[in-house]
Amino acid sequence: MPQDGMSAIAHEQSPEGWRSIVTDWSADKQTFHVPWGKAMMWIFLVSDTFIFSCFLVSYMNVRISTAVPWPNPSEVFALQAFGTDVPLLLIAIMTFVLITSSGTMAMAVNFGYRGDRARTTSLMLITAAFGAVFVGMQAFEWTKLILEGVRPWENPFGAEQFGASFFMITGFHGMHVSFGVAYLVIVAIKVWRGDYERAGGNYEIVEIAGLYWHFVDLVWVFIFAFFYLW
Amino acid sequence: MATVEEIHEAAGPQQVRHEAHESHGQQHPIKIYFWIWGLLFVFSALSYATDFIDDGLFRWGLILLFMFLKAGFIVAIFMHMAWERLALMYAILGPPLVLLVLIGLMAVEGDYTLLTRLDFFSEPPPISAPEH
């Protein structure tokens, strides 16, 4: 951890519990004992939490306030499989793909801190590949719904607000996944080239990229519960 | 089934982990990630399974339970929040709690809008009163 001697000493002597919060915030020194990049990523993720929350809360609001029945997600997102309509089949597969990618990302962070460049790079690329698969399946889902006549202003299944909420929420999430794929590929290439080895073997960047990726998975947990299961 | 704590205790005493955290960033035994990974799969399967049971408080209780369990494990273990210092933990996890106020306000407002719409936009009931 890149800390100067003073804060490292203060850190070791600092008390536990609420007292540790008081000491961390009150002294004339660094408050968060983490690399600045990690602190900034966390703060960015808090702001992103508020953005997604605004979307989900406005979705809740329009869904409560409409007098027209809301389309049943189990039926709208059902797929024909095994000769029958399986509800939410694609969504379930997308969920498992994203969780799998979160697992490979966690592994990548672990191997990064061990300095295992080959494994870190390949696990990050696998994570990015799962992300790309997720976005591909989302594109399929969008195409299917658009062909069925779902628009942000109307749809054949029920309340008009359905389309606006669906495209806004899943679109913004899919955009996050897409950016995440690009981010992971860039960091993976830099790990492979040995950029961080030259910078003193510091692989915190892998963990920071991982924070972003896990957040994308986290948001999907809430979208899955509130948009697809409601 | 071993709990997260047990896995960690098996991996080494508290002190060792703290020292590792200090010097090499977030480094934890790989076993714990496999455990959480497996749990996330199980919880996802279970929350998907709720789609097949009747709607009601029980179903919603399960959906929310699995949702918070998944979110909690992702944040605590995958994002390493469980091992961060409290100052960071509270600074990050505290502010989103105010969203509960927004959710409450918007739910009340949504209900009001719905009642207003039902009042003004629905078919007028047959009125037997004289026209003039």
pLDDT tens for B71-88 read 999 998 888 888 888 888
d(CA A119, CA A141): 33
Would you list the domain boundaries of chain B? 4-86
Read off the tokens for A195: 């950029």
Judge: A1–B70 Cβ closer than 8 Å, yes or no: no
Q: SS in 3 state form for chain A?
A: CCCCHHHHHHHHHCCCHHHHHHHHHHCCCCCCCCCHHHHHHHHHHHHHHHHHHHHHHHHHHHHHHCCCCCCCHHHHCCEEECCEEECCHHHHHHHHHHHHHHHHHHHHHHHHHCCCHHHHHHHHHHHHHHHHHHHHHHHHHHHHHHHCCCCCCCCCCCCCHHHHHHHHHHHHHHHHHHHHHHHHHHHHHHHHHCHHHHCCCCCHHHHHHHHHHHHHHHHHHHHHHHHHCC
Judge: A207–B25 Cβ closer than 8 Å, yes or no: yes
End-to-end CA distance of chain B: 77
d(CA B88, CA A51): 21
DSSP-derived 3-state class of residue B32: helix
- Supply the pLDDT for residue A62: 93
pLDDT tens for A92-129 read 899 999 999 999 999 999 888 888 888 999 999 999 99
Nearest to B33 among A60, A106, A114 (CB): A106
H or E element, residue B131: none
B51: confidence class by pLDDT, cuts 50, 70, 90: confident
Residue ranges and CATH numbers for the domains of chain A are 1-33 (no CATH), 35-228 (1.20.120.80)
> Which chain B residues are Cβ-neighbours of A61 within 8 angstroms?
106-107, 109-110, 113
Read off the tokens for A170: 């899943």
Residue A87 gets the label, from left (phi > 0), alpha (psi -120 to 50) or beta, of beta
Place of tokens 């997260």: B4
Mean pLDDT, chain A, as a whole number? 87
d(CA B44, CA A206): 26
Task: Say how many C-beta atoms besides its own lie within 10 A of residue A93's C-beta.
Answer: 15
User: Looking at this predicted complex, what is its ipTM?
Assistant: 0.82
pLDDT tens for B21-31 read 444 577 788 88
Distance from CA of A69 to the nearest CA of B (A): 12
Q: Angle A17-26/B86-93 helices, nearest 10 degrees?
A: 90
* Higher per-residue confidence, A104 vs B16: A104
> Which chain B residues are Cβ-neighbours of A63 within 8 angstroms?
110
Q: Catalogue the long-range contacts made by A2-9 (C-beta closer than 8 Å, 24 or more residues apart).
A: A2/A35, A2/A202, A3/A30, A3/A33, A7/A33, A8/B22
Q: Among candidates B14, B29, B11, B74, which has minimal Cα distance to A113?
A: B29
pLDDT tens for A148-175 read 888 999 888 888 889 999 999 999 999 9
Nearest to B87 among A32, A50, A218 (CB): A32
Judge: A225–B52 Cβ closer than 8 Å, yes or no: no
> Which chain A residues are Cβ-neighbours of B91 within 8 angstroms?
32
Mean pLDDT, chain B, as a whole number? 78
Selected residue of A48, A221, A226 to mutate for chain B interface (largest B Cβ count, 10 A) = A221
- Supply the pLDDT for residue A36: 87
Q: For residue B42, what are the CA distances in angstroms to A1, A13, B52? A: 35, 41, 16
- Supply the pLDDT for residue B130: 62
Judge: B92–A45 Cβ closer than 8 Å, yes or no: yes
Nearest to B71 among A43, A211, A218 (CB): A218
Q: For residue A132, what are the CA distances in angstroms to A120, A138, B91? A: 18, 10, 32
Judge: B96–A49 Cβ closer than 8 Å, yes or no: yes
Q: Does A7 touch chain B (CB under 8 A)?
A: no
Which region among A47-61, A83-97, B60-74, B83-97 has the lowest average model confidence (pLDDT)? Answer: A83-97
Distance from CA of B54 to the nearest CA of A (A): 12
